[in-house]
Structure 1
């Protein structure tokens, strides 16, 4: 489904706001628009099957999938232009989103592949010679693959709150026959029983190597 830059901004704000913060007033404040404008856009999303207002305002599965895809691509471009051009995070965040909607789909796909492949090659050079670097020679062609994953709690194996601290799915980039899995962290929000909203990022991450957590 094709959406506009303006619609993308609404989707991202709705996706980012949590619980009682997801109101018409808060969305209007975030986007610096009027509440009637928010109402009109939410009605449009309802017609497109991207959002629902009952019992509370929320994105549908389709709306969430589109928002996640936008955030994923935006984060790749954001990381590149903030690193290579030295501009502020706020400017890079907005510029990355605008660029997405100025490019053709073919050009955008090629750009993302180029950025991710170059970044993976740079990482692979750092990891060269390590025993845990996997070879995909004869198994996977060079390219970028999506890897579904879940973040589980150490000990009982239940789904961790930290699972929301990463974009899904992960990316496996195979370059020159070797591969590296990339997890992209995003800010976490948690509302306490007292109503306070806590914000932060995941501090520690362990992985299971087949025998132990490392």
Structure 2
């Protein structure tokens, strides 16, 4: 019986390890952040990883407004699969031509987002299916009202939800984030002195 006790403990320890590993696979709020946004003509955006992204991770993107409990059904959706290899922290992932035939430099993407030139937001989240978020990971907007609300998302404006100055149709981060700590990455991405910004002025585009 004494020899059996260690054997009986092994399955319990194995289950415990698997549970811990499973927990690590789930993305949390702030594990990615938006690093660019373009809502004029060929819409695009990019994200920056602040944690390693496991293989076959699925992230949903929508430009629907959030009402505190659910998304609207009148906007677009993108579904991104990270691919068969894990993605290291501090990697930039680009999404282009998202209003036509979306493309990405890493993984696979399908769907579409047709961003409003002056007022729109993108939410990134994980969940069981489109429009059913379980974890809000990040958000970006060119107008604070475009989120709808951030209630019940765990996102914080000026941190995990980046809101560019009003009338911005293009924002490209131009700094170096390679060796920057996670908390400082979010600070840098919310500092608009670190961007090349293009904005509308008096109904016209200003560069």
TM-score using structure 2 length: 0.22
Structure with the higher fraction of residues in strand conformation: 2
Highest relative contact order (Cα 8 Å, sep 6+), 1 or 2?
Answer: 2
